[in-house]
Structure 1
Amino acid sequence: MRSLFSVTLLLLLALTLTVEANKRAKHHKGGKHDKSRASSECSPAEIQYGKCVPDHGDCGDGLREASCKDRTEKINCRIPCNWKKDISDCKYKFGAWSSCDAATNTKSRSGTLKKALFNAECQATVKVSKPCSHKIKKTRGESFWKGKKKSNSR
Protein backbone atom coordinates (compact mmCIF):
# COMPACT_ATOMS: atom_id res chain seq x y z
CA MET A 1 0.00 0.00 0.00
CA ARG A 2 2.87 2.35 0.85
CA SER A 3 4.57 1.73 -2.49
CA LEU A 4 1.33 2.42 -4.39
CA PHE A 5 0.98 5.71 -2.52
CA SER A 6 4.62 6.64 -3.30
CA VAL A 7 4.23 5.84 -7.01
CA THR A 8 0.99 7.84 -7.18
CA LEU A 9 2.66 10.79 -5.47
CA LEU A 10 5.62 10.67 -7.90
CA LEU A 11 3.30 10.54 -10.93
CA LEU A 12 1.30 13.49 -9.61
CA LEU A 13 4.50 15.49 -9.09
CA ALA A 14 5.76 14.66 -12.61
CA LEU A 15 2.41 15.66 -14.12
CA THR A 16 2.41 18.98 -12.24
CA LEU A 17 5.95 19.82 -13.39
CA THR A 18 5.07 18.99 -17.02
CA VAL A 19 1.98 21.22 -16.96
CA GLU A 20 3.98 24.12 -15.46
CA ALA A 21 6.71 23.77 -18.11
CA ASN A 22 4.10 23.84 -20.90
CA LYS A 23 2.45 26.94 -19.40
CA ARG A 24 5.79 28.78 -19.31
CA ALA A 25 6.59 27.78 -22.90
CA LYS A 26 3.22 29.07 -24.17
CA HIS A 27 3.47 32.42 -22.38
CA HIS A 28 7.15 33.07 -23.06
CA LYS A 29 7.56 36.44 -24.81
CA GLY A 30 11.21 36.20 -25.76
CA GLY A 31 12.72 38.83 -23.45
CA LYS A 32 16.24 39.94 -24.33
CA HIS A 33 16.51 37.49 -27.23
CA ASP A 34 13.85 39.34 -29.24
CA LYS A 35 16.49 41.68 -30.73
CA SER A 36 18.17 38.96 -32.74
CA ARG A 37 14.92 37.28 -33.76
CA ALA A 38 14.78 39.08 -37.13
CA SER A 39 16.29 36.16 -38.98
CA SER A 40 17.87 33.05 -37.55
CA GLU A 41 20.34 32.71 -40.43
CA CYS A 42 21.64 36.29 -39.99
CA SER A 43 24.40 37.35 -37.65
CA PRO A 44 23.62 40.31 -35.37
CA ALA A 45 25.94 42.53 -37.45
CA GLU A 46 23.88 41.85 -40.61
CA ILE A 47 20.55 42.89 -39.10
CA GLN A 48 19.45 46.42 -39.95
CA TYR A 49 17.19 48.12 -37.39
CA GLY A 50 14.79 50.97 -38.12
CA LYS A 51 13.78 53.77 -35.78
CA CYS A 52 11.40 53.00 -32.93
CA VAL A 53 7.92 54.31 -33.81
CA PRO A 54 5.65 54.76 -30.77
CA ASP A 55 2.07 53.43 -30.88
CA HIS A 56 0.56 56.67 -29.53
CA GLY A 57 2.03 60.18 -29.32
CA ASP A 58 5.76 60.74 -29.43
CA CYS A 59 6.90 58.40 -26.64
CA GLY A 60 6.06 55.10 -24.95
CA ASP A 61 5.77 51.54 -26.28
CA GLY A 62 6.11 51.04 -30.02
CA LEU A 63 7.56 48.92 -32.81
CA ARG A 64 10.75 48.98 -34.90
CA GLU A 65 11.56 47.09 -38.09
CA ALA A 66 14.42 44.60 -38.11
CA SER A 67 15.53 43.47 -41.59
CA CYS A 68 18.04 40.97 -42.87
CA LYS A 69 18.37 39.77 -46.45
CA ASP A 70 14.80 39.52 -47.80
CA ARG A 71 13.07 39.21 -44.43
CA THR A 72 11.60 42.03 -42.29
CA GLU A 73 9.99 41.69 -38.87
CA LYS A 74 8.61 44.16 -36.36
CA ILE A 75 9.98 43.99 -32.83
CA ASN A 76 8.86 45.76 -29.66
CA CYS A 77 10.68 48.88 -28.47
CA ARG A 78 10.16 51.82 -26.11
CA ILE A 79 10.89 55.54 -26.33
CA PRO A 80 11.32 57.26 -22.93
CA CYS A 81 8.90 60.12 -22.20
CA ASN A 82 11.53 62.54 -20.84
CA TRP A 83 14.75 64.25 -21.90
CA LYS A 84 16.23 60.92 -23.07
CA LYS A 85 13.80 60.78 -26.01
CA ASP A 86 16.38 62.02 -28.54
CA ILE A 87 19.10 59.60 -27.40
CA SER A 88 17.03 56.52 -26.58
CA ASP A 89 19.07 54.09 -28.75
CA CYS A 90 22.38 55.43 -27.42
CA LYS A 91 23.73 54.70 -23.95
CA TYR A 92 25.87 57.37 -22.29
CA LYS A 93 27.87 57.67 -19.08
CA PHE A 94 26.87 60.96 -17.48
CA GLY A 95 28.69 63.13 -14.97
CA ALA A 96 27.08 64.99 -12.07
CA TRP A 97 24.52 67.75 -12.63
CA SER A 98 25.96 71.27 -12.62
CA SER A 99 24.78 73.89 -10.14
CA CYS A 100 21.67 75.83 -11.06
CA ASP A 101 22.16 78.65 -13.59
CA ALA A 102 20.06 81.51 -12.16
CA ALA A 103 19.70 83.22 -15.57
CA THR A 104 18.08 80.24 -17.31
CA ASN A 105 16.87 78.35 -14.19
CA THR A 106 18.38 75.13 -15.58
CA LYS A 107 21.15 72.73 -14.67
CA SER A 108 23.05 70.56 -17.13
CA ARG A 109 25.40 67.62 -17.44
CA SER A 110 27.33 65.95 -20.23
CA GLY A 111 27.77 62.31 -21.14
CA THR A 112 30.17 60.23 -23.21
CA LEU A 113 28.99 57.39 -25.45
CA LYS A 114 29.16 53.91 -23.91
CA LYS A 115 27.17 51.85 -26.41
CA ALA A 116 25.07 52.30 -29.56
CA LEU A 117 22.04 49.98 -29.67
CA PHE A 118 20.40 48.74 -32.88
CA ASN A 119 23.25 50.11 -35.04
CA ALA A 120 22.16 53.65 -34.15
CA GLU A 121 24.19 56.67 -35.19
CA CYS A 122 25.16 58.34 -31.90
CA GLN A 123 27.07 61.47 -30.99
CA ALA A 124 30.32 60.88 -29.09
CA THR A 125 29.30 63.35 -26.37
CA VAL A 126 25.97 64.94 -25.49
CA LYS A 127 24.89 67.71 -23.16
CA VAL A 128 21.45 67.64 -21.54
CA SER A 129 19.71 70.13 -19.29
CA LYS A 130 16.63 70.26 -17.10
CA PRO A 131 14.86 72.84 -14.95
CA CYS A 132 16.24 73.41 -11.46
CA SER A 133 14.32 72.00 -8.54
CA HIS A 134 12.94 74.55 -6.11
CA LYS A 135 12.62 71.98 -3.32
CA ILE A 136 14.96 72.36 -0.39
CA LYS A 137 16.74 69.08 0.11
CA LYS A 138 17.16 67.80 3.65
CA THR A 139 20.66 67.00 4.77
CA ARG A 140 21.44 63.51 5.93
CA GLY A 141 20.17 62.82 9.44
CA GLU A 142 17.73 65.71 9.43
CA SER A 143 14.17 64.71 10.12
CA PHE A 144 10.71 66.20 10.27
CA TRP A 145 10.77 66.26 14.08
CA LYS A 146 14.13 67.99 14.39
CA GLY A 147 13.73 71.34 16.10
CA LYS A 148 10.15 70.69 17.18
CA LYS A 149 9.48 70.37 20.87
CA LYS A 150 7.90 67.20 22.10
CA SER A 151 4.95 67.69 24.36
CA ASN A 152 4.78 65.32 27.30
CA SER A 153 1.06 65.33 27.72
CA ARG A 154 -0.07 62.26 29.55
Structure 2
Amino acid sequence: MRGLVSVTLLLLLALSLSAEAGRGKGKGNKGKPDRAKAASECTPAETEYGKCIPEQGDCGEGQREVTCKGQTNKIHCKIPCNWKKDISDCKYKFGPWGPCDAATNTKSRSGSLKKVLFNAECRDTVTVSKPCSPKVKKTRGENHTLIYYRQTGL
Protein backbone atom coordinates (compact mmCIF):
# COMPACT_ATOMS: atom_id res chain seq x y z
CA MET A 1 0.00 0.00 0.00
CA ARG A 2 2.81 2.39 0.88
CA GLY A 3 4.38 1.75 -2.52
CA LEU A 4 1.17 2.74 -4.30
CA VAL A 5 0.90 5.99 -2.31
CA SER A 6 4.55 6.81 -3.02
CA VAL A 7 4.15 6.22 -6.76
CA THR A 8 0.98 8.35 -6.81
CA LEU A 9 2.74 11.19 -5.00
CA LEU A 10 5.67 11.02 -7.43
CA LEU A 11 3.32 11.14 -10.41
CA LEU A 12 1.47 14.16 -8.99
CA LEU A 13 4.76 15.93 -8.34
CA ALA A 14 5.96 15.24 -11.91
CA LEU A 15 2.67 16.51 -13.37
CA SER A 16 2.74 19.70 -11.32
CA LEU A 17 6.36 20.41 -12.32
CA SER A 18 5.64 19.91 -16.03
CA ALA A 19 2.54 22.13 -15.81
CA GLU A 20 4.59 24.84 -14.05
CA ALA A 21 7.32 24.67 -16.71
CA GLY A 22 4.75 24.99 -19.51
CA ARG A 23 3.14 27.98 -17.85
CA GLY A 24 6.38 30.01 -17.85
CA LYS A 25 6.96 29.82 -21.63
CA GLY A 26 6.43 33.07 -23.53
CA LYS A 27 5.61 35.01 -20.39
CA GLY A 28 7.53 38.18 -21.23
CA ASN A 29 6.41 38.36 -24.87
CA LYS A 30 2.74 39.29 -24.29
CA GLY A 31 1.70 38.52 -27.87
CA LYS A 32 4.28 40.79 -29.51
CA PRO A 33 6.38 39.48 -32.43
CA ASP A 34 9.79 38.13 -31.53
CA ARG A 35 12.41 40.83 -32.21
CA ALA A 36 15.34 38.61 -31.26
CA LYS A 37 14.55 36.12 -34.05
CA ALA A 38 15.00 38.66 -36.83
CA ALA A 39 18.06 40.18 -35.16
CA SER A 40 19.89 36.86 -34.72
CA GLU A 41 19.37 35.66 -38.31
CA CYS A 42 20.44 38.85 -40.14
CA THR A 43 23.12 41.47 -39.93
CA PRO A 44 22.00 45.12 -39.64
CA ALA A 45 23.00 45.66 -43.27
CA GLU A 46 20.65 42.87 -44.41
CA THR A 47 17.71 44.09 -42.31
CA GLU A 48 15.24 46.60 -43.73
CA TYR A 49 12.89 48.49 -41.40
CA GLY A 50 9.63 50.07 -42.50
CA LYS A 51 8.06 53.21 -41.13
CA CYS A 52 6.28 52.99 -37.77
CA ILE A 53 2.51 53.01 -38.39
CA PRO A 54 0.40 53.95 -35.35
CA GLU A 55 -2.64 51.82 -34.49
CA GLN A 56 -4.87 54.88 -34.00
CA GLY A 57 -4.44 58.51 -35.06
CA ASP A 58 -1.04 59.87 -36.01
CA CYS A 59 0.94 58.98 -32.86
CA GLY A 60 1.16 56.42 -30.06
CA GLU A 61 1.61 52.64 -30.09
CA GLY A 62 2.02 50.99 -33.48
CA GLN A 63 3.89 48.45 -35.57
CA ARG A 64 6.72 48.50 -38.10
CA GLU A 65 7.59 45.90 -40.73
CA VAL A 66 11.03 44.29 -40.59
CA THR A 67 12.28 42.42 -43.68
CA CYS A 68 15.18 40.00 -43.44
CA LYS A 69 16.22 37.40 -46.06
CA GLY A 70 12.81 37.58 -47.75
CA GLN A 71 10.91 37.14 -44.47
CA THR A 72 8.73 40.00 -43.20
CA ASN A 73 7.73 40.34 -39.55
CA LYS A 74 6.04 43.11 -37.60
CA ILE A 75 7.57 44.56 -34.45
CA HIS A 76 6.22 46.92 -31.82
CA CYS A 77 7.07 50.64 -32.10
CA LYS A 78 5.90 53.97 -30.71
CA ILE A 79 5.56 57.46 -32.22
CA PRO A 80 5.75 60.30 -29.67
CA CYS A 81 2.64 62.49 -29.47
CA ASN A 82 4.50 65.82 -29.47
CA TRP A 83 6.88 67.78 -31.66
CA LYS A 84 9.26 64.80 -31.90
CA LYS A 85 6.97 62.61 -34.04
CA ASP A 86 8.56 63.79 -37.31
CA ILE A 87 12.03 62.76 -36.13
CA SER A 88 11.21 59.75 -33.92
CA ASP A 89 13.71 57.36 -35.62
CA CYS A 90 16.52 59.92 -35.41
CA LYS A 91 18.11 60.94 -32.12
CA TYR A 92 19.46 64.49 -31.79
CA LYS A 93 21.46 66.43 -29.22
CA PHE A 94 19.52 69.66 -28.63
CA GLY A 95 20.69 72.99 -27.29
CA PRO A 96 18.65 75.23 -24.97
CA TRP A 97 15.36 76.82 -26.05
CA GLY A 98 15.75 80.27 -27.57
CA PRO A 99 13.80 83.38 -26.56
CA CYS A 100 10.10 83.72 -27.30
CA ASP A 101 9.30 85.31 -30.67
CA ALA A 102 6.46 87.74 -29.93
CA ALA A 103 5.22 87.74 -33.55
CA THR A 104 4.63 83.97 -33.70
CA ASN A 105 4.42 83.27 -29.94
CA THR A 106 6.87 80.37 -30.39
CA LYS A 107 10.37 79.51 -29.26
CA SER A 108 12.77 77.21 -31.07
CA ARG A 109 15.99 75.26 -30.68
CA SER A 110 18.24 73.27 -32.97
CA GLY A 111 19.84 69.86 -32.61
CA SER A 112 22.62 67.89 -34.26
CA LEU A 113 22.30 64.23 -35.23
CA LYS A 114 23.48 61.84 -32.52
CA LYS A 115 22.12 58.40 -33.55
CA VAL A 116 20.12 56.83 -36.41
CA LEU A 117 17.63 54.07 -35.57
CA PHE A 118 16.09 51.52 -37.94
CA ASN A 119 18.16 52.66 -40.96
CA ALA A 120 16.11 55.87 -41.13
CA GLU A 121 17.01 58.80 -43.34
CA CYS A 122 17.94 61.62 -40.98
CA ARG A 123 19.00 65.22 -41.45
CA ASP A 124 22.30 66.32 -39.88
CA THR A 125 20.64 69.24 -38.06
CA VAL A 126 17.04 70.04 -37.25
CA THR A 127 15.21 73.02 -35.79
CA VAL A 128 12.06 72.48 -33.74
CA SER A 129 9.55 74.98 -32.35
CA LYS A 130 6.92 75.00 -29.65
CA PRO A 131 4.48 77.59 -28.26
CA CYS A 132 5.79 79.96 -25.62
CA SER A 133 4.65 79.43 -22.06
CA PRO A 134 1.70 81.71 -21.18
CA LYS A 135 3.04 82.21 -17.65
CA VAL A 136 5.58 84.92 -16.95
CA LYS A 137 8.23 83.59 -14.61
CA LYS A 138 9.13 85.84 -11.69
CA THR A 139 12.56 85.91 -10.20
CA ARG A 140 12.92 85.53 -6.49
CA GLY A 141 13.96 89.17 -6.04
CA GLU A 142 10.80 90.51 -7.72
CA ASN A 143 8.57 88.51 -5.40
CA HIS A 144 10.34 89.73 -2.23
CA THR A 145 10.25 93.34 -3.41
CA LEU A 146 6.49 93.13 -3.96
CA ILE A 147 5.97 91.74 -0.44
CA TYR A 148 8.18 94.48 1.00
CA TYR A 149 6.13 97.22 -0.68
CA ARG A 150 2.85 95.68 0.52
CA GLN A 151 4.09 95.48 4.10
CA THR A 152 5.53 98.97 4.25
CA GLY A 153 2.79 100.63 2.20
CA LEU A 154 5.29 102.30 -0.12
TM-score, structure 2 normalization: 0.70
C-alpha separation in 2, matches of 1:90 and 1:36: 22
Once the two structures are superposed, the pairs formed by residues 107-146 of structure 1 within 5 Å of their partners are: 107-139=107-139
Residue deviations 1:46-105 (CA, integer Å, cap 9, x gap): 110000000011111000000111111000000111111110000000000000011111
Q: CA deviation at 1:25?
A: 4.7
What is the aligned length?
Answer: 128
Deviation at 1:35? 4.6
Residues of 1 paired with 2:35 and 2:25: CA distance?
Answer: 19
What residue number does 1:59 align with? 59
When Rg is computed on C-alpha atoms for both structures, the one with the higher figure is 2
Aligned mates of 1:141, 1:62 — CA distance in 2: 49
**Structure 1 residues 106 and 60: alpha-carbon distance in aligned structure 2, compared to 1, 3 A threshold:** same
**Structure 2 residues without counterparts, runs of 5 or longer:** 1-15
Residue aligned with 1:38, SS: helix
Q: What amino acid maps onto 1:71 in structure 2? A: Q
**If the length of structure 1 is used for normalisation, what is the TM-score?**
0.70
Query: 1:36-115 maps to which residues of 2 (within 5 A)?
Result: 36-38=36-38, 40-115=40-115
Q: Report the 3-state secondary structure (helix = DSSP H, G, I; strand = E; otherwise coil) of the residue aligned with 1:40.
A: helix
Contact 1:38 1:72 in 2 (8 A): no
Note the residue ranges of structure 1 that are not aligned, 5 or more in a row: 1-14, 150-154
1:137 Cα shift? 2.7
Identity, % of aligned positions? 64
Is residue 89–residue 117 contact of structure 1 (8 Å, CA) maintained in 2? yes
SS in 2 for 1:118: coil
Structure 2 letter corresponding to 1:128: V
Taking the aligned partners of 2:85 and 2:121, their CA distance within structure 1 comes to: 14
Equivalent residue number for residue 9 of structure 1:
none
SS where residue 41 of structure 2 aligns?
coil
Could you say if the C-alpha distance between residues 139 and 38 of structure 1 is closer, same or farther in structure 2, counting changes exceeding 3 Å? farther
Aligned residue type for 1:57:
G
| Superposed CA RMSD | 3.3
For 1:110 and 1:22, locate their aligned partners in 2 and report how far apart those are by CA, in whole Å: 52
